[in-house]
Amino acid sequence: MSSLPRILITGAGGFVGPHVVNALRGVYGDAVSILGTGLQKRDDPTGYPIVELDVTDQAAVRRAVARYRPTHVLNLAAIAAPAAVSESPDAGWRVHLDATRHIANAILDEVPECVLVHVGSGLVYGDSARSGLPLDENTVLAPVDEYGASKAAADLALGVFVAKGMHCIRLRPFNHTGPGQTDAFVIPAFAMQIAQIEAGLMPPVMRVGNLEAQRDFLDVRDVADAYVRAIQRSSVLESGLILNVASGIPRKISDVLELLLSKTKVHIEVEIDTARAQGSVFSIVVGNADKARQLLNWAPEHEFQRTVSDVLNDCRSRLAWT
């Protein structure tokens, strides 16, 4: 296999993809070939091509892998928001489980020397979070919704491909946020409301859900760094390895909201929306990423306050362009 990394990124048109490309170029410079795939063909602002690929189409996936012959596949393909999977569970299972199997089969058959770096989710631990303790890679998988279950199924299915000889690294990221994330997620949802209030597009009242829940938040750029380190070190990492990607710090949602409100000069009232509050099942969800710190020499570098500021400024910029 060529020493030049040839990295195929499925789901490259989503929130995380551009940050991964920036991280890859920061490490490899021009000595890397990157091909992104998504539901629509386009050139990303970071300058790499995104070719159209429906990852649920087994034949199309096989053709893409055979044509590009990657050294690594980074599987970011997913329906990002858990609520969207709950609304369309069949689509979630097709994208999370079926597509993952299509990718793995194509690698084994067409480029068996290729490494699959698969991105799962910390939500696979589900009900195990009731302990309130940091969740490590040995924690029992106990998903409580369609999103977590379909992600857990894909994670487990890859164990079969590892047994067949495929080199696979499985990553389980916890909550991550940053510029470019949609307001289907809590921090940009808060930030977009603030930006709209500042712009006079809505009255100075925010509607929020459960503020007492505590979650483990990372900056998307630190998550992208972990993914790239897994690619860099894949030759020395054991196939089948599972790594959490998490900060290890539980942050109360009310504190996140207060931090965002401290960054605006507008006085804003906060009202609890009971419909939104029903979405939080567990009081504390926090990950243990000691293994990733050790094996990837990785640690989060972005200060949380800066991350939150970047999300708010991104929301302001998006409104200014509409």
Q: What backbone phi and psi angles, to 5 degrees, belong to 53?
A: -155, 125
Q: What is the pLDDT of residue 49?
A: 80
Q: What is the pLDDT of residue 60?
A: 97
Ranges assigned E (strand) in 195-282: 205-208, 214-216, 218-219, 242-245, 250-252, 269-272
Q: What is the pLDDT of residue 56?
A: 97
Q: What is the pLDDT of residue 48?
A: 72
What's at 47, amino acid-wise?
Answer: G
Q: What backbone phi and psi angles, to 5 degrees, belong to 171?
A: -110, 140
Enter the tokens of residue 244. 């959490």
Q: What is the pLDDT of residue 45?
A: 56
> Cα 45 vs. chain centroid, distance in angstroms?
19
Distance between CA atoms of residues 42 and 49, nearest Å: 6
Enter the tokens of residue 138. 């040995």
Distance between CA atoms of residues 297 and 307, nearest Å: 22
User: Could you tell me which residues are beta bridge partners of residue 167?
Assistant: 115
Q: What backbone phi and psi angles, to 5 degrees, belong to 215?
A: -130, 160
**Where do the domains of the chain lie, and which CATH numbers do they carry?**
6-178+217-248+286-302 (3.40.50.720), 186-213+250-285+310-320 (3.90.25.10)
Distance between CA atoms of residues 287 and 176, nearest Å: 12
H/E element holding 284?
strand 284-285
User: Could you tell me which residues are beta bridge partners of residue 273?
Assistant: none
Nearest one of 65, 60, 77 to 109, comparing CA atoms = 65
Cβ contact 280:213 at 8 Å: yes
SS3 category, 247:
coil
Cβ contact 220:178 at 8 Å: yes
Distance between CA atoms of residues 234 and 202, nearest Å: 49
Q: What is the pLDDT of residue 1?
A: 43
DSSP readout, 29-98?
TTS-EEEEEESS-EE-TTS-EEEE--TT-HHHHHHHHHHH--SEEEE--S---HHHHHHSHHHHHIIIII
Q: What is the pLDDT of residue 276?
A: 63
How many C-beta atoms surround the C-beta of residue 229 within 10 A?
A: 19
Distance between CA atoms of residues 316 and 295, nearest Å: 38
Q: Give me the tens of pLDDT residue by residue for the chain, a chain 322 residues long.
A: 446 899 999 999 999 999 999 999 999 998 999 999 998 776 655 567 889 999 999 999 999 999 999 999 999 999 999 999 999 999 999 999 999 999 999 999 999 999 999 999 999 999 999 999 999 999 999 999 999 999 999 999 999 999 999 999 999 999 999 999 999 999 999 999 999 999 999 999 999 988 999 999 999 999 999 999 999 999 999 999 999 999 999 999 999 999 999 999 999 999 988 766 555 568 999 999 999 999 999 999 999 999 999 999 999 999 987 6
